[in-house]
Structure 1
Amino acid sequence: MEEFNWALRSAELDELKTTGLKFTWNNMRSGTAAISKKLDRALGNWQWFKHFGDSYAHTSNSGISDHSPISIQLMQQVQPSGRPFKFLNFWADHPQFLNIVRSEWDKPYEGSPLKRIQLKLKGLKYQLKKLCTRPDSETANLRQMLKNVQLDLDEKPNDVDLKNQEIRLKNDLAISARNEGAFFKQKSRIQWLKEGDSNTVFFHRVAKVRQSKNHIAKILNEHGAWLESQQDIAQAGVEYFKNLFDHQGRHMQKVDDYPKRLWADHSNLLGSPDTRNEVVKDFSTLNPNKAPDPDGYNG
Protein backbone atom coordinates (compact mmCIF):
# COMPACT_ATOMS: atom_id res chain seq x y z
CA MET A 1 0.00 0.00 0.00
CA GLU A 2 2.88 2.37 0.77
CA GLU A 3 4.38 1.78 -2.68
CA PHE A 4 0.96 2.31 -4.29
CA ASN A 5 0.50 5.63 -2.49
CA TRP A 6 4.02 6.64 -3.50
CA ALA A 7 3.15 5.87 -7.14
CA LEU A 8 0.03 8.06 -6.91
CA ARG A 9 2.02 10.95 -5.46
CA SER A 10 4.75 10.58 -8.07
CA ALA A 11 2.20 10.61 -10.90
CA GLU A 12 0.30 13.48 -9.20
CA LEU A 13 -2.97 11.55 -9.27
CA ASP A 14 -5.94 12.21 -7.02
CA GLU A 15 -9.24 10.42 -6.59
CA LEU A 16 -12.32 11.76 -8.35
CA LYS A 17 -15.40 12.56 -6.34
CA THR A 18 -17.37 9.28 -6.24
CA THR A 19 -21.05 8.46 -5.82
CA GLY A 20 -22.87 5.14 -5.63
CA LEU A 21 -21.71 2.08 -3.70
CA LYS A 22 -19.22 2.46 -0.87
CA PHE A 23 -17.37 -0.82 -1.54
CA THR A 24 -16.11 -1.89 -4.98
CA TRP A 25 -15.05 -5.49 -4.27
CA ASN A 26 -16.31 -8.44 -2.26
CA ASN A 27 -15.13 -12.02 -1.85
CA MET A 28 -18.61 -13.33 -2.76
CA ARG A 29 -19.01 -15.13 0.55
CA SER A 30 -21.63 -14.80 3.26
CA GLY A 31 -21.76 -14.67 7.02
CA THR A 32 -18.61 -14.09 9.03
CA ALA A 33 -16.48 -14.99 6.00
CA ALA A 34 -17.84 -12.08 3.94
CA ILE A 35 -15.32 -9.33 3.12
CA SER A 36 -16.02 -6.05 1.32
CA LYS A 37 -13.38 -3.49 0.39
CA LYS A 38 -12.94 -0.36 -1.67
CA LEU A 39 -10.23 -1.49 -4.06
CA ASP A 40 -11.19 0.30 -7.27
CA ARG A 41 -10.93 4.05 -7.74
CA ALA A 42 -11.20 6.57 -10.54
CA LEU A 43 -8.14 8.83 -10.59
CA GLY A 44 -7.30 12.04 -12.38
CA ASN A 45 -4.24 14.24 -12.79
CA TRP A 46 -3.97 18.02 -12.73
CA GLN A 47 -4.98 18.42 -16.38
CA TRP A 48 -8.09 16.32 -15.78
CA PHE A 49 -9.29 18.43 -12.86
CA LYS A 50 -8.44 21.57 -14.82
CA HIS A 51 -10.60 20.67 -17.84
CA PHE A 52 -13.22 18.40 -16.21
CA GLY A 53 -13.56 19.87 -12.73
CA ASP A 54 -17.25 18.95 -12.44
CA SER A 55 -16.78 15.30 -13.45
CA TYR A 56 -17.41 12.49 -10.99
CA ALA A 57 -17.21 8.71 -10.80
CA HIS A 58 -20.16 6.44 -10.06
CA THR A 59 -19.86 2.92 -8.63
CA SER A 60 -22.64 0.61 -9.83
CA ASN A 61 -23.87 -2.79 -8.64
CA SER A 62 -21.42 -5.63 -9.23
CA GLY A 63 -23.98 -8.08 -10.62
CA ILE A 64 -22.37 -11.52 -10.96
CA SER A 65 -18.82 -10.15 -10.67
CA ASP A 66 -16.77 -9.60 -7.53
CA HIS A 67 -15.85 -6.09 -8.72
CA SER A 68 -18.20 -3.15 -9.22
CA PRO A 69 -17.96 -1.23 -12.50
CA ILE A 70 -17.02 2.45 -12.28
CA SER A 71 -18.31 4.93 -14.82
CA ILE A 72 -17.14 8.52 -15.16
CA GLN A 73 -19.73 11.21 -15.77
CA LEU A 74 -18.54 14.30 -17.62
CA MET A 75 -20.62 17.35 -16.82
CA GLN A 76 -20.64 20.80 -18.36
CA GLN A 77 -19.27 23.26 -15.87
CA VAL A 78 -22.05 25.41 -14.44
CA GLN A 79 -21.15 28.88 -13.27
CA PRO A 80 -22.92 29.81 -10.04
CA SER A 81 -25.60 32.47 -10.42
CA GLY A 82 -24.13 34.55 -7.63
CA ARG A 83 -20.91 34.08 -5.68
CA PRO A 84 -21.16 34.75 -1.94
CA PHE A 85 -18.79 37.32 -0.49
CA LYS A 86 -15.50 36.03 0.88
CA PHE A 87 -12.82 38.22 2.36
CA LEU A 88 -9.56 37.89 0.41
CA ASN A 89 -6.48 38.14 2.61
CA PHE A 90 -4.37 40.04 0.08
CA TRP A 91 -6.79 42.97 0.32
CA ALA A 92 -5.12 43.86 3.63
CA ASP A 93 -1.96 44.81 1.68
CA HIS A 94 -3.80 47.25 -0.59
CA PRO A 95 -2.62 50.84 0.04
CA GLN A 96 -6.23 52.04 0.44
CA PHE A 97 -7.42 49.15 2.62
CA LEU A 98 -7.20 50.91 5.99
CA ASN A 99 -8.80 54.05 4.57
CA ILE A 100 -11.69 52.00 3.19
CA VAL A 101 -12.24 50.26 6.54
CA ARG A 102 -11.90 53.50 8.50
CA SER A 103 -14.35 55.31 6.22
CA GLU A 104 -16.99 52.60 6.64
CA TRP A 105 -16.37 52.26 10.38
CA ASP A 106 -16.91 55.99 10.96
CA LYS A 107 -20.41 55.90 9.47
CA PRO A 108 -23.21 56.22 12.07
CA TYR A 109 -25.57 53.26 12.45
CA GLU A 110 -28.46 52.76 14.83
CA GLY A 111 -29.12 49.71 16.98
CA SER A 112 -27.33 47.64 19.58
CA PRO A 113 -23.50 47.46 19.53
CA LEU A 114 -23.55 44.03 17.84
CA LYS A 115 -26.16 45.21 15.32
CA ARG A 116 -24.02 48.23 14.44
CA ILE A 117 -20.96 46.01 13.91
CA GLN A 118 -23.02 43.73 11.67
CA LEU A 119 -24.17 46.70 9.57
CA LYS A 120 -20.62 48.06 9.32
CA LEU A 121 -19.30 44.69 8.10
CA LYS A 122 -22.16 44.44 5.62
CA GLY A 123 -21.42 47.91 4.26
CA LEU A 124 -17.71 47.10 4.09
CA LYS A 125 -18.42 44.18 1.76
CA TYR A 126 -19.62 46.46 -1.04
CA GLN A 127 -16.51 48.64 -0.77
CA LEU A 128 -14.09 45.69 -0.73
CA LYS A 129 -15.74 44.14 -3.78
CA LYS A 130 -14.56 47.16 -5.77
CA LEU A 131 -10.97 46.03 -5.25
CA CYS A 132 -9.37 43.33 -7.38
CA THR A 133 -11.10 39.98 -6.81
CA ARG A 134 -9.21 37.89 -9.40
CA PRO A 135 -5.47 38.66 -9.20
CA ASP A 136 -4.75 35.76 -11.56
CA SER A 137 -6.52 37.57 -14.41
CA GLU A 138 -4.81 40.84 -13.50
CA THR A 139 -1.41 39.11 -13.45
CA ALA A 140 -1.98 37.62 -16.91
CA ASN A 141 -2.95 41.03 -18.31
CA LEU A 142 0.08 42.72 -16.75
CA ARG A 143 2.42 40.06 -18.16
CA GLN A 144 1.04 40.65 -21.63
CA MET A 145 1.31 44.43 -21.26
CA LEU A 146 4.92 44.11 -20.06
CA LYS A 147 5.72 41.82 -22.97
CA ASN A 148 4.35 44.35 -25.46
CA VAL A 149 6.28 47.23 -23.88
CA GLN A 150 9.53 45.25 -23.90
CA LEU A 151 9.00 44.39 -27.58
CA ASP A 152 8.59 48.11 -28.29
CA LEU A 153 11.71 48.86 -26.24
CA ASP A 154 13.65 46.44 -28.39
CA GLU A 155 12.80 48.67 -31.35
CA LYS A 156 13.20 51.96 -29.44
CA PRO A 157 15.79 51.33 -26.68
CA ASN A 158 16.22 55.05 -25.95
CA ASP A 159 12.54 55.84 -25.45
CA VAL A 160 12.28 57.26 -21.91
CA ASP A 161 8.49 56.92 -21.69
CA LEU A 162 8.65 53.24 -22.62
CA LYS A 163 11.41 52.64 -20.08
CA ASN A 164 9.38 54.29 -17.30
CA GLN A 165 6.35 52.29 -18.35
CA GLU A 166 8.39 49.09 -18.16
CA ILE A 167 9.55 49.92 -14.62
CA ARG A 168 5.98 50.65 -13.50
CA LEU A 169 4.63 47.44 -15.06
CA LYS A 170 7.38 45.35 -13.44
CA ASN A 171 6.46 46.76 -10.04
CA ASP A 172 2.72 46.22 -10.63
CA LEU A 173 3.38 42.68 -11.86
CA ALA A 174 5.43 41.80 -8.77
CA ILE A 175 2.61 42.99 -6.49
CA SER A 176 -0.06 41.21 -8.54
CA ALA A 177 1.94 37.96 -8.62
CA ARG A 178 2.31 38.09 -4.83
CA ASN A 179 -1.44 38.67 -4.49
CA GLU A 180 -2.07 35.77 -6.86
CA GLY A 181 -0.04 33.43 -4.66
CA ALA A 182 -1.91 34.57 -1.54
CA PHE A 183 -5.24 34.23 -3.37
CA PHE A 184 -4.72 30.59 -4.38
CA LYS A 185 -3.17 29.69 -1.03
CA GLN A 186 -6.34 30.92 0.66
CA LYS A 187 -8.51 28.94 -1.77
CA SER A 188 -6.43 25.77 -1.32
CA ARG A 189 -6.75 25.91 2.51
CA ILE A 190 -3.12 24.72 2.76
CA GLN A 191 -1.84 25.72 6.21
CA TRP A 192 1.65 24.22 6.26
CA LEU A 193 3.21 26.13 3.35
CA LYS A 194 3.81 29.85 2.98
CA GLU A 195 2.50 31.66 -0.06
CA GLY A 196 4.93 32.88 -2.67
CA ASP A 197 5.41 33.09 -6.41
CA SER A 198 7.11 29.67 -6.47
CA ASN A 199 4.11 28.02 -4.83
CA THR A 200 1.34 29.63 -6.89
CA VAL A 201 1.01 26.70 -9.30
CA PHE A 202 0.82 24.23 -6.41
CA PHE A 203 -1.82 26.29 -4.59
CA HIS A 204 -3.81 26.62 -7.83
CA ARG A 205 -3.80 22.86 -8.40
CA VAL A 206 -4.87 22.09 -4.84
CA ALA A 207 -7.65 24.68 -5.09
CA LYS A 208 -8.96 23.15 -8.35
CA VAL A 209 -8.95 19.61 -6.92
CA ARG A 210 -10.66 20.83 -3.76
CA GLN A 211 -13.26 22.70 -5.81
CA SER A 212 -13.95 19.57 -7.87
CA LYS A 213 -14.42 17.39 -4.78
CA ASN A 214 -16.69 19.96 -3.13
CA HIS A 215 -18.94 20.15 -6.18
CA ILE A 216 -22.29 18.40 -5.62
CA ALA A 217 -22.98 16.53 -8.86
CA LYS A 218 -26.16 14.85 -7.67
CA ILE A 219 -28.04 14.24 -4.45
CA LEU A 220 -30.47 11.62 -3.13
CA ASN A 221 -33.62 13.26 -1.81
CA GLU A 222 -35.86 11.99 0.98
CA HIS A 223 -38.04 10.14 -1.54
CA GLY A 224 -35.12 8.05 -2.81
CA ALA A 225 -34.78 9.85 -6.16
CA TRP A 226 -31.49 11.15 -7.55
CA LEU A 227 -31.46 14.85 -8.44
CA GLU A 228 -28.81 16.13 -10.85
CA SER A 229 -29.77 19.66 -11.96
CA GLN A 230 -28.31 22.47 -9.86
CA GLN A 231 -31.77 23.97 -9.38
CA ASP A 232 -33.22 20.68 -8.06
CA ILE A 233 -30.21 20.13 -5.78
CA ALA A 234 -30.54 23.62 -4.32
CA GLN A 235 -34.28 23.17 -3.74
CA ALA A 236 -33.70 19.79 -2.07
CA GLY A 237 -31.25 21.41 0.33
CA VAL A 238 -33.72 24.16 1.21
CA GLU A 239 -36.53 21.65 1.81
CA TYR A 240 -34.32 19.40 3.94
CA PHE A 241 -33.27 22.12 6.37
CA LYS A 242 -36.74 23.65 6.35
CA ASN A 243 -38.23 20.33 7.46
CA LEU A 244 -35.39 19.84 9.92
CA PHE A 245 -35.91 23.14 11.72
CA ASP A 246 -39.70 23.19 11.40
CA HIS A 247 -39.90 19.87 13.20
CA GLN A 248 -41.14 20.15 16.77
CA GLY A 249 -38.28 19.08 19.02
CA ARG A 250 -38.59 17.32 22.32
CA HIS A 251 -39.46 19.37 25.39
CA MET A 252 -36.46 20.85 27.17
CA GLN A 253 -36.37 21.68 30.83
CA LYS A 254 -36.19 25.29 31.82
CA VAL A 255 -32.78 26.51 32.88
CA ASP A 256 -34.21 27.43 36.26
CA ASP A 257 -35.10 23.78 36.87
CA TYR A 258 -31.41 22.85 37.13
CA PRO A 259 -29.68 23.35 40.49
CA LYS A 260 -27.09 26.10 40.78
CA ARG A 261 -23.53 24.75 40.75
CA LEU A 262 -21.41 27.94 40.76
CA TRP A 263 -20.10 29.84 43.75
CA ALA A 264 -21.14 33.47 43.96
CA ASP A 265 -17.67 34.80 43.08
CA HIS A 266 -17.50 32.51 40.04
CA SER A 267 -20.91 33.70 38.92
CA ASN A 268 -19.84 37.33 39.28
CA LEU A 269 -16.67 36.63 37.29
CA LEU A 270 -18.66 35.17 34.40
CA GLY A 271 -20.94 38.19 34.36
CA SER A 272 -18.15 40.77 34.47
CA PRO A 273 -17.54 42.85 31.31
CA ASP A 274 -14.67 41.91 29.02
CA THR A 275 -11.61 44.14 29.12
CA ARG A 276 -9.98 45.59 26.02
CA ASN A 277 -6.85 43.47 26.57
CA GLU A 278 -8.95 40.28 26.71
CA VAL A 279 -10.69 41.14 23.44
CA VAL A 280 -7.39 41.99 21.70
CA LYS A 281 -5.82 38.77 22.98
CA ASP A 282 -8.72 36.64 21.72
CA PHE A 283 -8.70 38.25 18.27
CA SER A 284 -4.91 37.94 17.94
CA THR A 285 -5.09 34.16 18.45
CA LEU A 286 -7.54 33.64 15.57
CA ASN A 287 -6.20 31.88 12.48
CA PRO A 288 -6.39 34.36 9.54
CA ASN A 289 -6.57 31.46 7.06
CA LYS A 290 -9.45 29.56 8.62
CA ALA A 291 -12.67 28.91 6.69
CA PRO A 292 -14.82 32.05 6.46
CA ASP A 293 -17.90 32.49 8.64
CA PRO A 294 -21.37 32.87 7.07
CA ASP A 295 -20.75 36.62 6.68
CA GLY A 296 -17.71 35.88 4.46
CA TYR A 297 -15.07 37.15 6.89
CA ASN A 298 -12.35 34.83 8.17
CA GLY A 299 -10.14 35.14 11.22
Structure 2
Amino acid sequence: MAVLTNPTEEYIDEEKRVSQVYMALKKAEELFYKQKSRVQVIKEGDSNTSFFHKTVKVKTQRQQIIRMLNEQGEVTTDIKEIGEVAVEFYTKLIGTKDLNVEQHYVGFYQDLLKHKLSVDEQALLMSGISRAQVKQAFLKLEKDKAPGHDGFPAKFFTTHWDIVGGKLRR
Protein backbone atom coordinates (compact mmCIF):
# COMPACT_ATOMS: atom_id res chain seq x y z
CA MET A 1 0.00 0.00 0.00
CA ALA A 2 2.96 2.30 0.57
CA VAL A 3 3.51 2.44 -3.18
CA LEU A 4 0.09 4.11 -3.56
CA THR A 5 0.61 6.72 -0.85
CA ASN A 6 4.31 7.35 -1.47
CA PRO A 7 5.26 6.14 -4.98
CA THR A 8 9.04 6.18 -4.76
CA GLU A 9 11.30 4.27 -7.13
CA GLU A 10 12.28 1.97 -4.25
CA TYR A 11 8.66 1.00 -3.51
CA ILE A 12 7.89 0.45 -7.19
CA ASP A 13 10.93 -1.84 -7.58
CA GLU A 14 9.98 -3.75 -4.43
CA GLU A 15 6.41 -4.23 -5.68
CA LYS A 16 7.71 -5.54 -9.02
CA ARG A 17 10.05 -7.96 -7.24
CA VAL A 18 7.32 -9.25 -4.93
CA SER A 19 4.93 -9.59 -7.85
CA GLN A 20 7.50 -11.64 -9.81
CA VAL A 21 8.10 -13.91 -6.81
CA TYR A 22 4.34 -14.39 -6.41
CA MET A 23 3.88 -15.26 -10.09
CA ALA A 24 6.80 -17.72 -9.99
CA LEU A 25 5.35 -19.44 -6.92
CA LYS A 26 1.89 -19.55 -8.48
CA LYS A 27 3.34 -21.14 -11.64
CA ALA A 28 5.34 -23.65 -9.58
CA GLU A 29 2.20 -24.65 -7.68
CA GLU A 30 0.27 -25.01 -10.92
CA LEU A 31 2.99 -27.20 -12.45
CA PHE A 32 3.10 -29.31 -9.28
CA TYR A 33 -0.61 -30.10 -9.53
CA LYS A 34 -0.38 -30.66 -13.27
CA GLN A 35 2.38 -33.24 -12.79
CA LYS A 36 0.63 -34.81 -9.82
CA SER A 37 -2.64 -35.20 -11.68
CA ARG A 38 -0.92 -36.42 -14.87
CA VAL A 39 -3.32 -34.45 -17.04
CA GLN A 40 -1.47 -34.01 -20.32
CA VAL A 41 -4.07 -31.95 -22.13
CA ILE A 42 -3.93 -29.05 -19.72
CA LYS A 43 -1.44 -26.41 -20.78
CA GLU A 44 0.89 -24.77 -18.28
CA GLY A 45 -0.91 -21.46 -18.83
CA ASP A 46 -4.22 -22.76 -17.45
CA SER A 47 -5.09 -21.37 -14.07
CA ASN A 48 -4.82 -23.40 -10.88
CA THR A 49 -8.47 -24.36 -10.51
CA SER A 50 -10.44 -26.82 -8.44
CA PHE A 51 -10.18 -29.16 -11.45
CA PHE A 52 -6.55 -29.88 -10.57
CA HIS A 53 -7.41 -30.64 -6.96
CA LYS A 54 -10.40 -32.82 -7.86
CA THR A 55 -8.30 -34.78 -10.35
CA VAL A 56 -5.65 -35.48 -7.72
CA LYS A 57 -8.32 -36.51 -5.20
CA VAL A 58 -10.06 -38.86 -7.67
CA LYS A 59 -6.73 -40.47 -8.62
CA THR A 60 -5.92 -41.08 -4.95
CA GLN A 61 -9.35 -42.64 -4.39
CA ARG A 62 -8.92 -44.90 -7.44
CA GLN A 63 -5.71 -46.32 -6.03
CA GLN A 64 -7.39 -47.54 -2.85
CA ILE A 65 -9.08 -50.89 -2.36
CA ILE A 66 -12.26 -50.05 -0.47
CA ARG A 67 -14.07 -53.41 -0.75
CA MET A 68 -13.21 -56.98 -1.60
CA LEU A 69 -15.10 -60.20 -2.21
CA ASN A 70 -14.03 -63.03 0.10
CA GLU A 71 -14.07 -66.77 -0.67
CA GLN A 72 -17.65 -67.12 0.59
CA GLY A 73 -18.82 -64.45 -1.87
CA GLU A 74 -19.36 -61.83 0.84
CA VAL A 75 -18.24 -58.25 0.37
CA THR A 76 -16.00 -56.85 3.08
CA THR A 77 -15.15 -53.18 3.55
CA ASP A 78 -13.07 -53.48 6.73
CA ILE A 79 -9.46 -52.61 5.88
CA LYS A 80 -8.06 -55.36 8.13
CA GLU A 81 -10.35 -58.00 6.60
CA ILE A 82 -9.45 -56.81 3.08
CA GLY A 83 -5.80 -57.42 3.92
CA GLU A 84 -6.55 -60.88 5.30
CA VAL A 85 -8.62 -61.84 2.23
CA ALA A 86 -5.84 -60.69 -0.11
CA VAL A 87 -3.13 -62.55 1.84
CA GLU A 88 -5.26 -65.72 1.93
CA PHE A 89 -5.99 -65.52 -1.80
CA TYR A 90 -2.35 -65.10 -2.85
CA THR A 91 -1.10 -67.68 -0.35
CA LYS A 92 -3.44 -70.25 -1.90
CA LEU A 93 -2.55 -69.10 -5.42
CA ILE A 94 1.21 -69.34 -4.91
CA GLY A 95 0.94 -72.56 -2.89
CA THR A 96 -1.01 -74.31 -5.65
CA LYS A 97 0.95 -76.58 -7.94
CA ASP A 98 -0.37 -76.49 -11.50
CA LEU A 99 1.74 -78.95 -13.50
CA ASN A 100 0.60 -77.56 -16.86
CA VAL A 101 1.92 -74.13 -15.99
CA GLU A 102 5.14 -75.61 -14.61
CA GLN A 103 5.75 -77.64 -17.79
CA HIS A 104 5.20 -74.53 -19.87
CA TYR A 105 7.96 -72.72 -18.00
CA VAL A 106 10.36 -75.67 -18.22
CA GLY A 107 10.08 -75.60 -22.01
CA PHE A 108 10.47 -71.84 -22.07
CA TYR A 109 13.69 -71.96 -20.05
CA GLN A 110 15.08 -74.83 -22.09
CA ASP A 111 14.59 -72.73 -25.23
CA LEU A 112 16.39 -69.83 -23.59
CA LEU A 113 19.38 -71.99 -22.73
CA LYS A 114 19.81 -72.97 -26.38
CA HIS A 115 20.71 -69.38 -27.29
CA LYS A 116 24.23 -68.29 -26.43
CA LEU A 117 25.52 -64.76 -26.64
CA SER A 118 28.19 -63.96 -29.17
CA VAL A 119 31.54 -62.59 -28.00
CA ASP A 120 30.46 -59.09 -29.12
CA GLU A 121 27.17 -59.34 -27.19
CA GLN A 122 29.04 -60.48 -24.08
CA ALA A 123 31.50 -57.58 -24.38
CA LEU A 124 28.63 -55.10 -24.79
CA LEU A 125 26.95 -56.39 -21.62
CA MET A 126 30.20 -56.20 -19.66
CA SER A 127 31.12 -52.70 -20.87
CA GLY A 128 28.76 -50.91 -18.51
CA ILE A 129 26.73 -47.79 -19.11
CA SER A 130 28.32 -44.41 -19.78
CA ARG A 131 27.11 -41.10 -18.32
CA ALA A 132 26.31 -39.98 -21.87
CA GLN A 133 23.98 -42.98 -22.29
CA VAL A 134 22.25 -42.17 -18.99
CA LYS A 135 21.80 -38.54 -20.02
CA GLN A 136 20.46 -39.61 -23.42
CA ALA A 137 17.93 -41.92 -21.71
CA PHE A 138 16.78 -39.13 -19.37
CA LEU A 139 16.34 -36.70 -22.26
CA LYS A 140 14.05 -39.20 -24.03
CA LEU A 141 11.67 -39.46 -21.04
CA GLU A 142 8.30 -37.71 -21.10
CA LYS A 143 8.86 -34.53 -19.11
CA ASP A 144 5.51 -34.22 -17.31
CA LYS A 145 4.72 -37.84 -16.54
CA ALA A 146 4.40 -39.16 -13.01
CA PRO A 147 7.40 -38.76 -10.74
CA GLY A 148 9.76 -41.66 -10.14
CA HIS A 149 10.28 -43.49 -6.85
CA ASP A 150 12.39 -40.55 -5.65
CA GLY A 151 9.44 -38.17 -6.07
CA PHE A 152 10.94 -36.14 -8.92
CA PRO A 153 9.58 -36.03 -12.48
CA ALA A 154 11.91 -36.38 -15.47
CA LYS A 155 11.58 -32.64 -16.11
CA PHE A 156 13.50 -31.94 -12.89
CA PHE A 157 16.48 -34.03 -14.01
CA THR A 158 16.56 -32.70 -17.57
CA THR A 159 16.22 -29.08 -16.44
CA HIS A 160 18.92 -29.39 -13.78
CA TRP A 161 21.16 -31.94 -15.53
CA ASP A 162 24.23 -29.73 -15.10
CA ILE A 163 23.81 -30.11 -11.33
CA VAL A 164 22.41 -33.64 -10.87
CA GLY A 165 24.14 -35.33 -13.80
CA GLY A 166 27.50 -35.24 -12.09
CA LYS A 167 26.07 -36.69 -8.88
CA LEU A 168 25.06 -40.03 -10.43
CA ARG A 169 26.69 -43.10 -8.96
CA ARG A 170 28.14 -45.94 -10.97
State the TM-score, normalized to the length of structure 2: 0.58
1:275 and 2:130 are equivalent in the alignment: yes
Q: Hey, what's the Cα distance between the residues in 2 that align with 1:213 and 1:231? A: 19
Q: What is the aligned partner in structure 1 of residue 5 from structure 2?
A: 157
**Which of the residues 36, 61, 73 maps onto 1:224?**
73
Higher helix share: 2
1:188 CA drift (Å):
1.6
Higher strand share: 1
Q: Hey, what's the Cα distance between the residues in 2 that align with 1:221 and 1:182? A: 42
Deviations 1:220-274 (A, max 9, x none): 234433222344445544x268627853774754679821344332333333322
Fraction of identical pairs, as percent: 28
Q: Hey, what's the Cα distance between the residues in 2 that align with 1:277 and 1:166? A: 44
1:177 CA drift (Å):
0.8
Q: Hey, what's the Cα distance between the residues in 1 that align with 2:144 and 2:57? A: 18
Deviations 1:13-40 (A, max 9, x none): xxxxxxxxxxxxxxxxxxxxxxxxxxxx
Q: Hey, what's the Cα distance between the residues in 2 that align with 1:288 and 1:264? A: 37
Secondary structure at the residue paired with 1:200? coil
Distance 1:184 1:158, change over 3 A: same
1:284 and 2:139 are equivalent in the alignment: yes
Deviations 1:187-215 (A, max 9, x none): 2211233323x342243343344344444
1:200 and 2:86 are equivalent in the alignment: no
Q: Answer whether contact 1:185 1:204 (CA < 8 A) is retained.
A: no
Q: What is the aligned partner in structure 2 of residue 247 from structure 1?
A: 95
Q: Which runs of 5+ in 1 are unaligned?
A: 1-149
Aligned residues: 145
Q: Hey, what's the Cα distance between the residues in 2 that align with 1:296 and 1:242? A: 30
Query: Where in structure 2 are the equivalents of 1:19-98 lying within 5 Å?
Result: none
Q: Hey, what's the Cα distance between the residues in 2 that align with 1:222 and 1:173? A: 56
Distance 1:220 1:264, change over 3 A: same
1:167 CA drift (Å):
4.7
Distance 1:294 1:274, change over 3 A: closer
The amino acid across from 2:126 in the alignment is: G
The amino acid across from 2:120 in the alignment is: D
Q: CA RMSD in A?
A: 3.9
1:280 CA drift (Å):
1.7
Q: Hey, what's the Cα distance between the residues in 2 that align with 1:284 and 1:295? A: 18
**Which of the residues 179, 182, 187 maps onto 2:36?**
187
Q: What is the aligned partner in structure 1 of residue 21 from structure 2?
A: 172
Q: What is the aligned partner in structure 2 of residue 37 from structure 1?
A: none
Q: Answer whether contact 1:188 1:210 (CA < 8 A) is retained.
A: yes
